[in-house]
Amino acid sequence: MTFLQLDQLGKTFGDFRAVESLSLHVERGEFVSLLGPSGCGKTTTLQMVAGFVEPTRGRILLNGTDITATRPEKRGMGVVFQSYALFPHMTVADNIGFGLEMRGMPRAERLRRIEETIELVRLPGLGKRYPKELSGGQRQRVAVARALAVRPEVLLLDEPMSNLDAKLREDMHVELRGIQRHLGITTILVTHDQVEAMTMSDRIAVMHGGRIVQLATPYEAYERPDSAFASTFLGKTNVLRGTVEARNARCCEVRVGDALLHVPHEARDFAREVNVYVRPEKVRLAPADAGSGVAGTVRTRLFLGNHWLIEVDSALGPVRVSHPNIGPVPPAEGDAVAVQWHDDDLRILDTEAIHG
């Protein structure tokens, strides 16, 4: 049942088209991420949903009601800002309770709800402190608590974790997801961090140039990107340029250099000049004298803890391999190797510009 519907939303600032004909249906309780680089229009979209920016075109419907013209204070959304935007002159408890105050909740009930929410975000005992006395991570939790205290219809998160350090961010991903599941609040997250998007979302909307270029679950978006942009923005990938020589019902034969690759085409259309994509973790290293695979030499080998990052100079060009840290140490720099993969792990797309 569609709970939040964005219908052909568009926003133009002067000459600049920030958002272009964006449509999105979000189910009740679903967690959707708007993922993309700076300037792709994701924050503008969020601001339109929150009501801080008036759309140039399109509508926003919440549970069937058109809220496009509704003022932000009447929309009942909870917003977490990138800078947290806490009220510096109020205590943590007053910050969290502000929305409840605005709704006229009686004091006793308000205090109870504030306590509950403080426990929910795990900030026990900090109710009387002021924002400037808190660490960055604690301030972020207060911002989340403040938005959640009113039990909003929709939770809007604008890159809320970009100011946290890496370890804290990872912890918050899991925690925030847990809270969202527990409360069942429909949520939209805006981020440029694809790990964040994949960790937390039910579905990801990959955005580029003001449009959604792919809307899918994290697995689908990662495994089956629709566009060159999506495939290079989500995760890392090897790009091999080639020419289509033959095509049958299931796959194509693509000549890349001297080799002939068999790539499943998944009923897509493309021109003769194509890019073949294969993710580094799907490439295996084999001894140089193995029968199958493409021959090459190890150019660089870096150890990254849970995997090795190996770059191989091969007949197809440079190939990046992500080799898990299991078993013996992989071949060293300068050694001869062969790179292998399952044909099913290859993807094929047109040679369009990768950074549009």
Partner 1 sequence: MRKNGLLSLVYHAFFIAFILAPLVVVVLVSFTGKGYISLPTDGFSLRWFRAIGNATEFVAAFWLSLWLGLASATVAVVLAVPAALALVRYRFPGRGVLTAFFMSPLMIPHVVLGVAFLRFFSTVGVTGSFFWLALTHVVVVMPYALRLVLASATGLDRDAEKAALSLGASRLTAFRRIVLPLILPGVVGGWMLAFIQSFDELTMTVFVATPGTTTLPVAMYNQIAHTIDPLVASVSTVLIGGTLVLMVLLDRIVGLDRVLIGKG
Partner 2 sequence: MASASTAAVLPRSGSAPWLLSAPALLLFLGLLVIPLALTAVLSFHSFDGTRGVLPDLTGRNYLEVFSDPYYHEIFLRTAGLALAVTLLSVLFGVPETIILSRMKAPWRGIFLIVILGPLLVSVVVRTLGWAILMGNNGLINAALQALGLTDEPVRLLFTMTGVVIALTHVLMPFMVISVWASLQKLDPQVENAGQSFGASPFTVFRRVILPQILPGILSGGIIVFALAASAFATPAILGGRRLKVVATAAYDEFLSTLNWPLGASIAVLLLIANVIVIAGFNRYLERRYRQVFES
Question: What is the contact surface with partner 2 in residues (CB under 8 A)?
Answer: 13, 18, 38-39, 41-44, 47, 52-54
CB of 46 to partner 1, least distance (A): 11
Structure tokens at 222: 């990662």
CA torsion 194-198-200-203 (nearest 10°) is 110
Q: Which is nearer to partner 1, 87 or 219 (CB)?
A: 87
By CB under 8 A, which span of 72-80, 223-231, 232-240, 288-296 interacts with partner 1? Answer: 72-80
Given 15, 38, 65, 73, the residue binding partner 1 (CB under 8 A): 73
Secondary structure of residue 32 in the 3-state scheme: strand
Q: Which is nearer to partner 2, 51 or 331 (CB)?
A: 51
Per CB under 8 A, 79 contacts partner 1? yes
CB of 268 to partner 2, least distance (A): 32
Cβ-Cβ contacts under 8 Å for 347 (sequence gap 6 or more):
224, 225, 231, 263, 276, 277, 278
Given 38, 64, 65, 88, the residue binding partner 1 (CB under 8 A): 88
Q: Which is nearer to partner 1, 130 or 270 (CB)?
A: 130
Per CB under 8 A, 13 contacts partner 1? no
Per CB under 8 A, 147 contacts partner 1? yes
Per CB under 8 A, 150 contacts partner 1? yes
* 338 binds, options partner 1, partner 2, none, Cβ within 5 to 8 A by partner type: none
CB of 55 to partner 1, least distance (A): 17
**Backbone φ and ψ of 351, nearest 5°:** -85, 80
Cβ-Cβ contacts under 8 Å for 175 (sequence gap 6 or more):
122
> What sign does the CA torsion over 48, 51, 55, 59 have?
positive
Cβ-Cβ contacts under 8 Å for 207 (sequence gap 6 or more):
34, 35, 36, 40, 41, 42, 45, 213
Question: Residue 75 carries which DSSP code?
Answer: S
Taking CB under 8 A as the criterion, which residues in 27-56 touch partner 1? 50-52
Cβ-Cβ contacts under 8 Å for 219 (sequence gap 6 or more):
none
Pairwise CA distance, residues 160 & 140, whole Å: 7
CB of 108 to partner 1, least distance (A): 20
Alpha helices in 150-225 (DSSP H): 166-183, 194-200, 218-223
Q: Which is nearer to partner 1, 146 or 203 (CB)?
A: 146
Per CB under 8 A, 99 contacts partner 1? yes
Contacts to partner 1 by CB under 8 A:
50-52, 71-79, 81-83, 85-89, 98-99, 102-103, 146-147, 150, 156
